[in-house]
Amino acid sequence: MTVFRMGELFCGAGGLGLGAKRAKASRNGRKYTIEHVWAVDNDEWACKTFRRNIGPDDADRVICANVGKLNFSSLESIDALAFGFPCNDFSAVGERRGINGHFGALYKYGVDAINHFEPKWFIAENVRGLWSANEGRTFKKIQEELKRAGPGYKLTVHLYKFEEYGVPQARHRIIIVGLRSDIDLTFKVPSPTTPDNPRTARQALESPPIRAHVPNQERTVQSEKVINRLRYIKPGENAWNAVIPSQYQLKVKSAHLSQIYRRLHPDRPAYTIVGSGGGGTYGYHWRDPRALTNRELARLQSFPDSFEFLGPKPSARRQIGMAVPPLGAEAILKAVLKTFAGITYRSVEPRWPDQLDPDT
């Protein structure tokens, strides 16, 4: 058996971690798997969620700390690294401060970890907006640093549209897979599994129905005004393109983000789930005039109902919205394992973002 010992920075609640835990490959009786050795995040509730659902068995290996204060020498050796560095400064939903923002330079800790551990491979994730930040110079700089890190790496960069991999959500993310240059292997982008038949919001929330008393299923209390506003918004519409009586219209002069009071369309994948924001950004049911529960949001992110998000409801929502969809992560990491196992799989040419869509 070949087991890749993985470390993870900015692990969050464990979307990428669950994908890694599920990913497996086998050839000629030899199994290839991934085992978490340690994981790091600075959010206390996210760390507790990761411990509960992912492990490792030793709870102390899930380290709740500022990554900037980590001493990599104190951590166990690894041969695989994952890091979905925080995307707030590149996201269309945020202020888009880019690499000079508070979160923009956090990728450097991934580079530092690669320099220290020299893993056989790594996977890094960020939002689509990273590609266009600073007219593309930021993304070019990040790629150059990752290529030169440690002994040097061959990068495969792809814009993954996760609805093409069974995730019931139009969530588009840049994923970078790096293989060490001295390893004579090349990672190829796995072919989509549901390119022409994406899973819909209705299928995600109703097949099967969500059972009573599952974790994170508490409903949000809606005001009468919000309920009445939602009654005038049709499936797929939002507060700006629906015909709403004046007494229920939003009196806002700022940018009209399409997520505001946007209702799901039952026969399409959900729009992108977000982890932060105030009223109007929670995601709304296509039939009932209400916000989605955290469990419904988790289903749209492809988390199983057995995956419990710990902490207050706003914290759980943030953990869900910030996560990598585990089903998408599993597809990518399974392809990594197949690459090392020498298994041929269907692949596609890397896709680059051609324009920024604020909904994804």
pLDDT tens-digit profile of 101-159?
444 578 899 999 999 999 999 999 987 777 666 677 888 889 999 999 999 999 999 99
Does a structural domain hold residue 133? yes
115 torsion bin: left (phi>0), alpha (psi -120 to 50), beta (else): alpha
Q: Tell me the C-alpha distance between 48 and 6, whole Å.
A: 19
pLDDT at 229: 96
pLDDT at 346: 97
Residue 359 to residues 43, 137, 230, Cα–Cα distance (Å): 26, 23, 20
Angle formed at CA 150 by CA 144 and CA 151, multiple of 5 degrees: 95
Does a structural domain hold residue 26? yes
Tokens of 102: 């508070």
CA torsion sign for 212, 208, 263, 297 is positive
CATH number, position 132: 3.40.50.150
Which of the given ranges, 82-96, 99-113, 152-166, 277-291, has the highest pLDDT on average?
A: 152-166
As a whole-number percent, the residues of the chain with pLDDT over 90 amount to 76
Residue 339 contacts residue 187 (beta carbons within 8 Å): yes
SS3 83: strand
pLDDT at 145: 94
SS3 18: helix
Is 11 in the active site? no
Predicted TM-score of the model (pTM): 0.91
Does a structural domain hold residue 292? no
As a whole-number percent, the residues of the chain with pLDDT over 70 amount to 89
Domain that holds residue 7: 2-196+323-348
Q: Tell me the C-alpha distance between 189 and 159, whole Å.
A: 10
Span of 108-112, 252-256, 331-335 with lowest mean pLDDT: 252-256
Does a structural domain hold residue 301? no
pLDDT tens by residue, 189-206: 999 999 999 999 999 999
Residue 204 contacts residue 270 (beta carbons within 8 Å): yes
Q: Tell me the C-alpha distance between 320 and 215, whole Å.
A: 13
Q: Number of structural domains, the chain?
A: 1
Does a structural domain hold residue 237? no
* Residue 10 burial (10 A CB sphere; 0-12, 13-18, 19+): buried
Confidence class for position 258, pLDDT limits 50, 70, 90: confident
User: What is the DSSP secondary-structure string of 106-165?
Assistant: GHHHHHHHHHHH--SEEEEEEEGGGGTGGGGHHHHHHHHHHHHSTT-EEEEEEEEEGGGG
Does a structural domain hold residue 256? no
Span of 35-44, 66-75, 276-285 with lowest mean pLDDT: 276-285
Q: Tell me the C-alpha distance between 333 and 19, whole Å.
A: 7
Q: Tell me the C-alpha distance between 106 and 99, whole Å.
A: 9
Does a structural domain hold residue 83? yes
Tokens of 331: 């597809």
Q: Tell me the C-alpha distance between 353 and 259, whole Å.
A: 21
Does a structural domain hold residue 287? no
Residue 325 contacts residue 273 (beta carbons within 8 Å): no
φ, ψ (nearest 5 deg) of residue 34: -125, 135
Confidence class for position 55, pLDDT limits 50, 70, 90: confident
